[in-house]
Amino acid sequence: MSLDREFFLDCFAKSLQSCRSFHNYSITDLAERSGIHRNSISAIENHKHDASSITCAMLCFALNIQQVELQKNGAIRLIPAPMQREQRELAKIPQHAYIMERIGNAICCKREAGGLSQEELAVSAGIHKNTLWSIERGLTVPINSHLFSIYYSLGVTLLKADNFDIVLQ
């Protein structure tokens, strides 16, 4: 299933704003916690920018998002958890390579469990098979809409993350 990029960007933007409001963070607060420039966050929230998966992972980590629901119509919902006092300090975000390795491993495991080849999944997600190969090995940082297109093609309805231990259901 190929993802409607504009619809995805709109859903992600609204969900990100909702999570920021949940924690009563301004864009500046979120920028300080995540290490992402406030102009980038603003561009994402105004759906003018399809951020990299690393940027989105860093924002989700800073907002303590524990789950992401993926709906059949392409909508997503980020689900934050309340933060304990010690979590309110600046987020200590893992290295980019570690994040991409965890994401790639989760995609590979889900694909293999579903009996799909890389080529079948790549065609379904609307990306090149070499791109999927690189994502599964944590060698590239895809834009967020490509990553979610892969998730939808795998039939993922829930993404759970606990300190970047990622489970696709």
State the DSSP string of 102-165: HHHHHHHHHHHHTT--HHHHHHHHTS-HHHHHHHHTT----BHHHHHHHHHHTT--EEEEETTE
89 in any annotated domain: no
Q: What is the CATH number of the domain that holds 74?
A: 1.10.260.40
* Domain's final residue, options 82, 107, 142: 82
List the one residue out of 166, 17, 54, 58 whose CA is nearest residue 105.
166
Total of domains in the chain: 2
Domain hosting residue 36, numbered range? 5-82
Tell whether 14 and 58 lie within a shared domain: yes
Helix (H, G, I), strand (E, B) or coil at 77: strand
Cα 151 → chain centroid: 10
103 in any annotated domain: yes
68 in any annotated domain: yes
Instruction: Please report the pLDDT score of residue 54 as a whole number.
Output: 86
Instruction: Please report the pLDDT score of residue 24 as a whole number.
Output: 93
Per-residue pLDDT of the chain (169 residues; tens, 9 = 90+): 567 888 988 999 999 999 999 999 999 999 998 889 999 999 999 988 888 888 988 898 889 898 999 988 888 899 998 887 656 565 566 677 888 888 899 999 999 999 999 999 999 999 999 999 999 998 888 888 899 999 999 999 988 877 666 778 8
Read off the pTM.
0.82
User: Residues 55, 58, 64, 68: is their CA dihedral positive or negative?
Assistant: positive
- For residue 91, give every residue at least 6 positions away whose Cβ sits within 8 Å of its Cβ, in sequence order, or none: 33, 34, 35, 58, 61, 62
Instruction: Please report the pLDDT score of residue 96 as a whole number.
Output: 76
